[in-house]
Amino acid sequence: MPPPKEIEIKFLVASPATLERKLAAMGFHRVTPSTHESNTLYDLSGQKLRWSGQLLRLRKYGDAWLLTHKSRAQVGKHKARFEIETPVGDGPQMDGILRALGYQPVFVYEKYRSEWTDGRGHVVLDQTPIGDFAEIEGTPRWIDSTAKALDVDRESYVTKSYAELFFDWKRRYKRKAMNMTFRECSGRAKTARNSTRQSSAEAEAGSGV
């Protein structure tokens, strides 16, 4: 049986409070309140996973840990990729196992995430060091209809990963941060609003996050 396929888009959020009011009016209910999330990406020597378009991620969301592998993304109007994930009881121990197998942390990114659903798909609101984003995940038709109801046009769809958005932001504002953390980015930094157009090279080389 093939692993589940994740289909999603991001979009920039001008006002988190306004987005939450719209979601509530559309019948969505909040599954989790805004919760701190820390993500560590791992790779082998020579960045073998990155260059093959794969991703290995250890995530801490509140007190819960999750290990995820994602395949190379198929990027069109939406971004789609197969993913396998499993809960982890002890995050530091899993980190030790990954390091023992030759994997090393290569990028850390964090955000505050709240999750919403209408029973058919999910919308998450991410407040990050480089700006506020939302993700819509579900079937392509549901994604498009939900985006339209939220007044998000298709030209506003973002299919870049957070790693790609971060490095775009870093180049644009000439920042020295190596990871997308609030500490390294000095808290709430300038928005990534002008960094959402994806080059073909980034789509090929970047890992989705």
pLDDT in tens, 58-107: 999 999 999 999 999 999 999 999 999 999 999 999 999 999 999 999 99
193 pLDDT above the threshold of 80: no
pTM for this predicted structure: 0.87
Structural contact between residues 139 and 118, judged by C-beta atoms closer than 8 angstroms: no
H/E run at residue 199? none
Residue found under tokens 């789509």: 203
Q: Is the pLDDT of residue 192 over 90?
A: no
Distance in angstroms (rounded) separating the CA atoms of residues 130 and 179? 11
The amino acid at 93: Q
- The whole-number average pLDDT for the span 182-204 is 56
Candidates 109, 6, 103, 28; CA nearest to 61 is 109
Mean pLDDT of 134-140: 97
To the nearest whole number, what is the mean pLDDT of the chain? 90
**Mean pLDDT, residues 178-192 taken together:** 78
Say how many C-beta atoms besides its own lie within 10 A of residue 54's C-beta: 17
Give the Cα separation of 105 and 151 in Å (integer). Answer: 38
Residues 6+ apart with CB under 8 A from 162: 109, 111, 128, 180, 209
The pLDDT score that the predictor gives to residue 116 is 98
Residue 124's nearest CA partner among 141, 142, 112 is: 112
CB 63 within 8 A of CB 54: no
pLDDT, position 88:
98
Measure the CA dihedral 59/4/121/39, to 10°: 10
Hey, what are 2's tokens?
A: 């093939």
Give me 15's structure tokens: 């006002």
Alpha helices in the chain (DSSP H): 16-25, 48-51, 91-100, 140-149, 162-173, 200-205
Span 122-128, average pLDDT: 98
**What b/e string do you get for 99-118 counting C-beta neighbours within 10 Å, with b at 16 or more?**
eeeebeebbebbbbbbbbbe
Statement: residue 152 has pLDDT above 60: yes
